[in-house]
Structure 1
Amino acid sequence: MKNTKIILLCFLFTAFAVFTQAVIKTKAGIIISSSDKFQKLKSNSVVKSSDKFRILLQPESVGYAYFVMIEGGYATLLNFGKVYKNQRMVYPAKTNFAPFANKGKYRFYLIFSPNKLNKIDQLFAKSGRIVDSKFLKIINEISKGKPNITDDNPDDIMIAGNTRGKQEEIDTDFLKKFKAFTNKGEMLLEYNIIVK
């Protein structure tokens, strides 16, 4: 009887530890605008300095999203906040694409968590731009023991033609085609690219 109670307690403790990290499912990605074409950015891509980018995230549950870009030794918080089920978070807002400021190496982090990430909030509280090593230290803490997620899906997603003024349609079309990422706890999606 005593052994049964101990086994039951061990099972309950293990089950609690496993289920405390919620499984999250999120569609996220970056669209590149090049001339009149739009395509999904893949990790380890090379893009032109005249290209522009747009970040999209749409979760299947409530949580907190953070978009961070690293370039030139600095980490910049592009967008963050609470996102509800099937609500979109985008950068830049409305119907725009953002230009790449310089040529060189860029890293983008798309982070989604069921809980607010206070360390990231505190890090960017005074300024939206900080030395990248401070941010990378927190990323290393978050990613410990988690699978590395990169968006290097070989499938191309492209839309061609005149789509000016149709940003909502473009976003919707891309989100339908984006792969849904599933993870326990936080989702950390990383893109490493070169702008030439």
Structure 2
Amino acid sequence: MNSVDIIPGDHIFYRCGTHDHHGIYCGDIPYKNKIYHNVVIHFEGKFKRGQIRGVSFEKFAKGHNIYVVQYKKGSCYYNNLVLDRAINKLGEPDYNLFGNNCEHFAHWCKTGTKRCGQLHNFIEEAGGILGGAIAGGVAGAVLPLTLPEVVIIGVCLAAGFGGSELGKRIANLFSDQPDYEEG
């Protein structure tokens, strides 16, 4: 393991290029009359064919640095219940990038709600870019060409900022921000 102290019931993740991969560290667990050692339960997503699986810590980490998600005090279940929730989901299918992915699973094990910060941030950024582009374009199109360029650019930037705020509101409508901080 890494230098990070990881205990059974922890929500862990590693950074993998454009995204993070999440799971629940379980340590040694009994399952189907056998003891499995140093297990991480995670949603192994392969489009719609993914399922919740238990793998060794080493196989989960794949050489990446592992981080423990720090939840706000009082926002999650006790570790024994987290372990039970994760173990009881083993073998469940129906991976869905937007509504049932590895981060949704780990957050559900810890809190009982499915949330995904990566999805929330993506919606927020995409909505901000789209809203900013539309608002800035409309502002630029309706301003008279006789105004100085600096004024036109300033109005377009202000409209773009307003559009990015719209993106944040859109993200909050379609996705809940998780109640933890990664790291």
Q: TM range, normalised to the smaller chain?
A: under 0.3
Q: TM-score if structure 1 supplies the norm length?
A: 0.25
Greater relative contact order, per chain length (Cα 8 Å cut-off, separation 6+): 1
